[in-house]
Amino acid sequence: MIDQKKMTHSFFEALHPLLARLNVERTLSPGKLGILRYLSEHGRATTSELAVAGRVSPQGISLAARELERLQLVTRVPDDVDRRRVWIELTREGGEKLSQEVSVGYGWLDRTVSERLTPEDRRVLEAVIPVLRKLASEASSD
């Protein structure tokens, strides 16, 4: 019989260092990358929309957006109709930075999978990807 708590703990303990390693060479925090990724996938958004999507406070999004704006990765644009609403938009530089940051982590992972895993290990990893996607979709619907 599977010890659910032990398996869940082991899964987290195995996953955590991988996630940390993916972020080692990145220059932006996962939260700021999340903002850039959301804007890249969904287009412009308000701080409230970004806060809901990122599951953080609007104040946290505002601080991150200010830093991204200072880096010229996003821009704030007042709404044409409702001047109280401000849109956050991804700049060309922001799109390029997102691609660069993502490729850094993927590059390490691709090399490591290729160099460290056997063909059988890679088949097992490929087989578990649908299960991980299932967990990810559950996480995004919470």
Instruction: Express each pLDDT in 89-133 by its tens digit.
Output: 999 999 999 999 999 888 889 999 999 999 999 999 999 999 999
Structural domain contains residue 125: yes
Asked if the structure places residue 124 within a domain, the reply is yes
CB 88 within 8 A of CB 23: no
Residue at 21 is within a domain: no
CATH number at residue 74: 1.10.10.10
Confirm whether 16 is domain-assigned: no
SS3 100: helix
Query: Is 71 exposed, middle or buried, given 0-12, 13-18 or 19+ CB atoms closer than 10 A?
Result: middle
Q: What is the pTM of this model?
A: 0.79
